[in-house]
Amino acid sequence: MRYNQFSYTPVSEEQMLTELQALGFDLSPIKSDKANFELFVRKTFFNYADTDYPLSTLLADEQTDLLTFFTSDQELTADIFYHVSLQILGFVPGVDYTNLADFLEKIAFPVTFDNIIKNIYHLLNCRKKSGNTLIDHLVAQELIPQDNTYHFFNGKVLSTFTTHDLIREVVYVETGLDTDEDGQIDLVKVNIIRPRFDGQVPAMMTNSPYQQGVNEPASDKALYKMAGELQTKEATQIIVASPSQPELLNGTAPSKTSSPAEETFTYQGRFTTLNDYFLSRGFANIYVSGIGTLGSQGLMTSGDYRQIQSFKAVIDWLNGRAVAFTSQRRDKQIRADWSNGKVATTGLSYLGTLSTGLATTGVDGLEVIIAEAGISSWYDYYRENGLIVSPGGYPGEDLDSLAELTYSKSLQAGDFLKTKDKHQAFISQMAKDLNRETGDFSQFWQDRNYLPNLDKIKAEVVYTHGLQDWNVKPIHVYNVFNQLLPSVKKHLFLHLGAHVYMNNWQSIDFRESINGLLSQKLLAYQSNYQLPEIIWQDNSADQSWQTLDQFGSQTYQTLELGDSEEQIENSYDEETFTRYDKDFNAFKQDLFTDKANQVTVDLKLDADLFINGRIKLNLRVKSSVAKGLISAQVLDFGPAKRITAIPVPLAPRAVDNGRNFVQEHLMELPMPETPHRVLTKGHLNLQNRNDLMTVEPVTPDTWMDVALELQPTVYKLKKGDTLRLLVYTTDFEHTVRDNRSWQITVDLSQSNIQLPLNTSN
C-alpha cells in the first residue's frame, strides 16, 4: 500500500479540537502528548468495556507492549507514535514491515510526528490498510449514533444516516417530449431511494439506459459483420449545423397539492457504489433510464438532446419546475418537497456520457457531474477520421445495435405491442442515418456531439478516465477537458486502467475527495477543501499518483523513423484472415510481435521522456488504389514491470460504504512483468487525410504527406526503453476487415514521430 492523499484539508488547532471533541475525543493542548495519545487510542477501542486488553495486544516498540508503555514513565517518541498508528490502521509489525523507517517511506505515510493533536486529527483521516479511513471505520463501528442528521469531520460528511429504514418510491416525470408521436408527453420513470430526514436533502442522480434491463438478443441481431470492402468515397465538403435541440411541448399545469407516492420497489441494480456511499451520508439516490426504457415512454433516441432532455426534466422536477405523477394514469401529481434542489450525477460509460450531455444544457440545480469514462462525441465512439471504428472489444457494434440493447420497453410484451412498429421504423431510419458506407461525419453525428455546447456548462465537473480505455477512448475526456471555458471548475483523475470504476482502489482516496467536494457544493458546508485540477496515476511506480498542470503539451520531440521504403500488403491468405476474423486477439498477438502485415520501427531512447498529450505520426505514404487506411499503435516494448489495466481484488468485501452497508472488494491495478504496453493507437481514412470534414480523392501510386494524431496519453519512459511503432492497414479489433489486395507504401526517410513532452511539474 502507498498513501496518495488528496482529500485531507489542514485546519486550525481550534477547529481540530472542536471536531475531535464532538466525536468523543476529549483532547486538550494542556495535556501531555502521551496523555492525549493514550486517550485517543483508548477511545478507538470504545467497543471494549476494558480497554487495557486491546492496548496490551499492540506493540509500542520491539520490547514493550502499549499498555506497559502507557503505565511507564517513558516519553512518547516518534517511533512509538508511528508503530502504534500503523497498527491502528491495520498494519502488523513483523508481517507488513520489519524496518519502521523504510516502511514509512515506502508507503509515503502522510503524518509527520510533531504536534500530537494535529497528528491524531490527520491520522483519523488516513485510510486503513483495508480501504476505509480510520474515522469512517470508527463511525461504522458506532462511534457516534445514526441519528439521521449531518455530521462532518475535516470537511467531509460522515455516515450517520441509517440505510435500514429508507424511503423507496417511484414517480413519473413529464419530459416535454413526444418522441413516439402518440399525442401525449413522454413520461420517464424515476426510482428514488432516500433517507428519512426532517428537512431537505441533495441527490446523487445516475442516468442509465441500462437500469431497467437490456435486450441482448435484439442487439446481437443488429450487429454488423466487420468483413467487407473499404469504400472509395466521392470527394466532398461536409457541412453541418449546430446540434439539434428538441422543441418542448407545454406540460401539465402544476398542482397546488402533492399526493404521496403510490409505487415502490425493493431491489435497485447497482451501477456505482459511490451512490451507496453517499446514501448513508444523507444523499438521496435517483435512478433514471430515460425515454424508450421499460416503465417510461417514448423512443430510444440514443445520445441526442431529446434523450438528454428526458434526464434534464428530472432535475427540473427536483427544483419545482416540472410536473411528476404518482403513476402513468397522470391523475395525481407529486412534488419533490424533500429535495434541496442540488444534484450531482454519477456513473461510468453511457452513464458518464449522459452526465456531460446534461451539463451542456446548463440546467439549474446540477451542481456537480462525476463523469467516469464518458463519451463527448458519439462520432468519436463509433468512427474515427472518416472510418468506421468499433469501440475496443465490441467489433460490429453501432448506435442502432446499442439502441436495440437499451430499448427495454421491448422487454414488456404488452407495452412493446403498442410501440413496436414505431420503434422498428425509428431504428431503420437510424441505420440509414448513421451511414456505415462512408464512415463520414454528418448532422446525425453532430446531433450527438456535446462539444459545441460546452460553453453552456455551469456545473463543476469531475472526470475520471483510463489511459488504457480502448472502449471509450481517452480522446473523449481530452477534448472535453481542454475545451471547457476557463470559468468552469474542472477536475480530472487520469488512471492507468481500462474501462473501469476507481472508487474502491487502495492507492487513492477518491471517495473521500468527492465527499469533500460534494459536502461543499450540495450540503453548503464551509471548508477550505481544494480538489486538484488533474490527478494522474504515475506509471513509473506502483500505487503512485501525482498532480499535473496540463493534459496535453504542444512541445514536441521529433524522432526519425528510418531511411527505407516499406510496403504493407493489406490482404492475408484465407486461413490467416479467417483466424483473425474469428478472434481479433489472435491478430493483436501477431501484430505486437511483428508477425502481421505491418511496418515495425523500434526506437531506443537515449534520454528519459515524460509524454503528455497526443503523439503525432507524420508519414509519407502512397496507395496502390484510389483509397486506403492507415492504422498505428505505439508500444512501450520489452519485458518490464508495468501497471496493467484491470484492477484485481486485494481484500474481499473490505470497503464499507456505510455501516456494514454494500461492502465491496478493495481493488488495485497490479504491476507484474509484461512484454509490452500499448501507449496509444489511431486510425485514418486516407480520403480524410487533411480534415475530417473534407473528403479528398486518393490518386493511386502518388505520394501523400499525412499527419495522424493518436489517442492522448500521459506516460513516463526511461533512457534505454524501446518505443515500438506499428503501422498497418486493417485493424481486426476496430476497423472494417477488407481483405482485398492493395498496398500502402511508407517512405520512412520522409516520415517521423513527434512525442509531446510534459512541460510542467
In whole angstroms, what is the distance from residue 64 CA to residue 529 CA?
40
Cell numbers at 710, concatenated: 493518436
Residue 469 bears catalytic tag: yes
User: Which of 273, 5, 34 shows the shortest CA–CA distance to 124?
Assistant: 5
Q: Which residues contact 706 (CB under 8 A, 6 or more apart)?
A: 618, 619, 620, 621, 630, 684, 686, 689
**Helices vs. strands in the chain: H and E counts, helices first:** 20, 31
Amino acid at the residue 698: V
> Amino acid letter at 318?
L
Query: What CA–CA distance (Å, rounded) separates 245 from 726?
Result: 42
**Residue from 380, 469, 636, 656 carrying the catalytic annotation:** 469
**Could you give the residue ranges of the DSSP H alpha helices within 296-349?**
305-318
DSSP state letter for 468: T
Report how far residue 60's alpha carbon sits from residue 81's, in angstroms, rounded to the nearest whole number: 8
The answer to whether the CB of 62 falls within 8 A of the CB of 100 is: no
Instruction: Indicate the SS3 state at residue 622.
Output: strand
- Pull the grid cell for residue 540: 513509473
The whole-angstrom separation of Cα 631 and Cα 156 is: 47
CA 567, CA 598: separation in Å to the nearest integer?
8
Q: 483-512 burial by CB neighbour count: b if 16+ within 10 A, else e?
A: ebeeeeebbbbbbbbbbbbbbbbbbbbbbb
In this structure, the dihedral spanned by the alpha carbons of residues 529, 534, 537 and 543, taken in order and rounded to 10 degrees, is -10
Q: Catalytic: 349?
A: yes
236 beta partners? 695
Return the closest-CA partner of residue 552 out of 464, 469, 479, 470.
479
Q: Is 499 a catalytic residue?
A: yes
What is the distance, to the nearest Å, from the Cα of residue 96 to the centroid of all Cα atoms in its chain?
A: 32
Q: How many beta carbons lie within 10 A of that of residue 703, not counting itself?
A: 11
Sole residue written with cell 485540477? 533
617: three-class secondary structure by DSSP: strand
Strand partners, 600: 726
Cell of 130: 483495508
Q: Number of C-alpha atoms within 13 angstroms, CB side, residue 677?
A: 27
Q: Which residues contact 452 (CB under 8 A, 6 or more apart)?
A: 242, 243, 446
Task: List the catalytic residue out of 349, 377, 390, 410.
Answer: 349
Instruction: Give the DSSP letter string of 167-222.
Output: EEEEEEEE-S--TT-SSSPPEEEEEEEE---SS-EEEEEEE-TTTT---HHHHHHT
Among 227, 229, 237, 228, CA closest to 687? 237
Q: How far apart are CA 444 and CA 360, in angstroms?
A: 18
* Angstrom distance (rounded) from CA 243 to CA 305: 8
Residue 114: how many other CB atoms lie within 10 Å: 9
Q: Which of 372, 523, 524 has the alpha carbon at shortest distance from 461?
A: 372
Residue 108, sorted as left (phi over 0), alpha (psi -120 to 50) or beta, turns out to be left
**Catalytic residue among 499, 519, 553, 631, which?**
499
Distance CA 188, CA 179 (A): 12
Q: What is the DSSP letter of 93?
A: B
Q: What is the 3-state secondary structure (H, E, C) of 732-749?
A: CCCCCECCCCCEEEEEHH
Residue 60: helix, strand or coil by DSSP? strand
| CA gap 462, 368 in Å, rounded | 7
Which residues are catalytically annotated? 349, 469, 499
